[in-house]
Structure formats: C-alpha cells, structure tokens
Chain A
Amino acid sequence: MYYIDPHLHMVSRTTDDYETLAKMGCVAISEPAFWAGFDRGSAESFRDYFRQLTEVEPKRAAQYGIQHFTWLCINAKEAENVELSREVLKVIPEFLDCPNVLGIGEIGLNKNTRNEAIIFQEHMELAIAYEQQVLIHTPHLEDKYQGTRMILDMLGKHDIDRTRVLVDHVEEHTVGPVLEAGYWAGMTLYPVTKCTPARAVDIIERHGSDRLCVNSAGDWGPSKPTAVPDLVLEMRRRGHSESLIRKIVFDNPRQFFSQSKNFVLADPESRVGI
C-alpha cells in the first residue's frame, strides 16, 4: 500500500532509511523543522538548516522516488530564547516560496513556559500574514495535557481556518479536544513515549477516521521511521478495510496537505523511472 508519512525528520536519518521507506510503499514525507539535539547559536544556523530542508533533502528523497515536503519554524525548545526566535522569524519568509514548503511548523510548546507561548503566538501571526498552514507540536508525557489545552486556548484567539491546522502527537487524553475544536490531529508512533500502533488503532476506532493522520516522527532519538506500515499491519490484523487503512495513511495527509499551494503529489500509480 502507498502511504505518506506526514512527520519524519530525515535530516537525522541515513540514506538507507530512504531506501527502506521506498520499499515499504512510502511515496511522500513531510519534515517539520525541529530541535537538532542542541541549541543553535544564531539565526544563520537556522538559515542553513532551512536550506538543507528546502534544497538537500528533496534531492536525497527523490533518488528513491519519495517526494519531500517541509515546514519551517524555530522549535518550541529553542523558542525559550525569545531574541533568537525573533531573528529566526525574520528569516522564515525568505523560504516560504520554495516549492516543497507546506507551511509553519512544528511550532508549539515544550515545557509550557511564558516564552514558548510568546513565540508560538508570533509564529501564528506569521502564518496568518503569509496564509500558511500550521503544524503544531504538543509537549511530552506529563506536560502534554496542559500544553495541548494551552495551545487550543491560544489558537482559539486567532481568526484562522481550523482545517488548515494540524495538532500533532495526540494521545488518548488529547485527541478529543483537538478534533472537537475542528483541527486536524496527528498520532505519533513512538516506541515508549507516545502511541503504539495498537493504541493508535484504538483511537481511530473510538474517534473515527476524519481529520486524523498517523506518523513516525522518526528523528535522531529512539524512533522507527517505518512505523506507519506497522499501523497498516495492525489495522489489517483487526479486519479493517483496505479503504479505511488507505484513508488514514494516504488520503487524509494528502487532503490536509492539499490546502497548501506547494503540495503537488505525483500519482503513485503513474511513476516511472525510479
């Protein structure tokens, strides 16, 4: 089955992973800007990172017939540095017309601090000013519930089209408020700290398949870039239809991304020459 991984940090992965993803049916990925594992020292570091996301990764992915899309921001962790964040926010518009940029992301909260909230709102203003879609990171573990509710509070104060916003890393206790508020929701298949494939399928069975995506969020930490096919297998084992599985792993991300003018997905059935 063809699928799209809507959240995968390929700058942290090897080229071998692109090959494995292609063999497993991945036809497109979207890569939000994120924390590199250390705090960067200047806005110029981010300019280089954005060049990597818009110039290097699309070429690396294309060698395996995978389309690469991306989202730009300063992540929630480094957003604690307000001065640096504001410099990075000035750089972002230079890249918004690059052909693989889908919007602003992954913005959000990390430890639910005042500075993170300030920069989250400034990212939202940028997204609104440039009519960009938004991809939102929600905090980890014990901070997730509080942080998700704070994000929904802040989003509710902006005049935005909620169907152009995806709130990511939802779990059992946060998926309901996100979907009920009219946003898209993403579930991340992480071995220990987020959803397992089985629990993600439980959430689909409980909340339905509309506005719900699933991703691996593979990065430099413990993660599995091929986690989406694990979910496909779990759905098949439970007897779900191929059409429902396809909706979750292909149709839904395609529908969400299609609201970005830069999202042009080649028909997987008509690809030749890879």
Chain B
Amino acid sequence: MNSNQILDREFLEIRAKILEVAAALDRIQRAEGDVSSDSRMQLVADAITVIGTEQADAIRAEKIQLLFSREYDTKWLEGFEIASRT
C-alpha cells in the first residue's frame, strides 16, 4: 500500500483516536481536583508533542514507548549485589 492508500484507510481511525484523547483530557480538566502537577500529565503532553513532530526515521511509536519507560541502568547487577552466575 502506498501512503495515499494508507491515509485513505486510516484517516477516520486517526481522527477518532485523537478525539478520544482530546475528550479524555477534557474529562480530566472538567472533574474536581487538580492533576496539573502529576508527572503522568507531563508524559501525555510530551507524547502528544512526539506525535505532532515530523520524524525523519518514522519511529514515533518507539519514541513514545521509551518516553513511558523507566530508565535502564547498565550497572543494575552491581546494585543487586548478586553474583554473576556464569
């Protein structure tokens, strides 16, 4: 499928999914309380920025996955103080 065919096929789904996100954010805003300082809201905002930014390598999904991931510490084994079992 070329890009035009994919856009034809996916446009309404993309529209619907963006509306779902917008409506969910509206719902949060309308509700009592304040979550503006909740770190998850910043993650959502950062993810939306990734979606809207042109990506030369077409890896928006991977970037968003990493955004929502805990950091990987290459020295984790030292922190656990368990012997290497080789």
Counting CB contacts under 8 A, is B27 at the interface? Answer: no
In this complex, the interface size class of chain B, counting residues with CB under 8 Å from chain A, is 20 to 34
The reply to whether B65 and A158 contact each other, CB–CB distance below 8 Å, is no
Of the candidate stretches B18-26, B28-36, B46-54, B72-80, the one touching chain A is: B72-80
B56 at the interface (CB under 8 A from A): no
Interface residues of A in 128-168 (CB under 8 A from B): 141-146, 149-150, 153, 157-159
B69's contact among A122, A142, A153, by CB below 8 Å, is which?
A142
B65, B84, B86: the one within 8 Å of A145 (CB)? B65
Which B residue sits closest to A159, measured CB to CB?
B86
Complex Cα–Cα for A143 and B76 (A): 14
CB B61 to nearest CB in A, in angstroms, measures 5
Contact across chains for B66 and A173 when beta carbons are under 8 A apart: yes
Residues in chain A near residue B62, CB distance under 8 A = 172-173
Would you call the interface of chain A mostly helix, strand, loop, or mixed? helix
B-side interface mostly: loop
A124 to B86, CA, bound (A): 10
Binding stretch for chain B, among A2-10, A27-35, A48-56, A113-121: A113-121
Is B11 positioned at the interface, with any CB of A under 8 Å from its CB? no
C-alpha spacing A142/B80, complex, angstroms: 20
- Within 8 Å CB of A145, what residues of B? 65-66, 69-70, 72
The distance in angstroms between the C-alpha atoms of A159 and B9, with both chains bound, is 47
> Is A157 a contact of B86 with CB atoms below 8 Å?
yes
B77 to A146, Cβ gap below 8 A? no
Alpha-carbon distance between A143 and B72 when the two chains are bound, in angstroms: 9
Report yes or no: B1 in contact with A199, Cβ–Cβ below 8 A: no
What string of 1s and 0s marks CB contacts (under 8 Å) between A229-263 and chain B? 00000000111000000000000000000000000
- Asked if B1 and A146 make an inter-chain contact with CB atoms under 8 angstroms apart, the answer reads no
Distance between Cα atoms of A145 and B63 in the complex (Å): 12
Please give the distance in Å from A249's CB to the nearest CB on chain B: 20
Query: Does A153 contact B77, Cβ atoms closer than 8 Å?
Result: yes
CA distance A220 to B82 in the complex (A): 34
Q: Is A17 an interface residue (CB 8 A)?
A: no
> Does B85 have its Cβ within 8 Å of any Cβ on chain A?
yes
Residues of A near B76 (CB, < 8 A) are 112, 146, 150, 153
Contact B73 A142 (CB under 8 A): no
Q: Which residues of A contact B77 (CB under 8 A)?
A: 117, 153
- Asked if residues A114 and B69 are in contact (CB atoms below 8 Å), the reply is no
Complex Cα–Cα for A195 and B82 (A): 33
A44 at the interface (CB under 8 A from B): no
B71: interface (CB < 8 Å): yes
Residues of chain A touching chain B, judged by Cβ–Cβ distance below 8 Å, are 112, 114, 117-118, 121-122, 124-125, 141-146, 149-150, 153, 157-159, 171-174, 199, 202, 237-239
A sample of 15 inter-chain contacts (CB < 8 A) reads A124-B85, A141-B68, A142-B68, A144-B69, A145-B66, A145-B72, A146-B73, A150-B72, A153-B76, A157-B85, A172-B61, A172-B62, A173-B62, A202-B61, A239-B1
Chain B residues near A (Cβ < 8 Å): 1, 9, 59, 61-62, 65-66, 68-73, 76-77, 80-82, 84-86
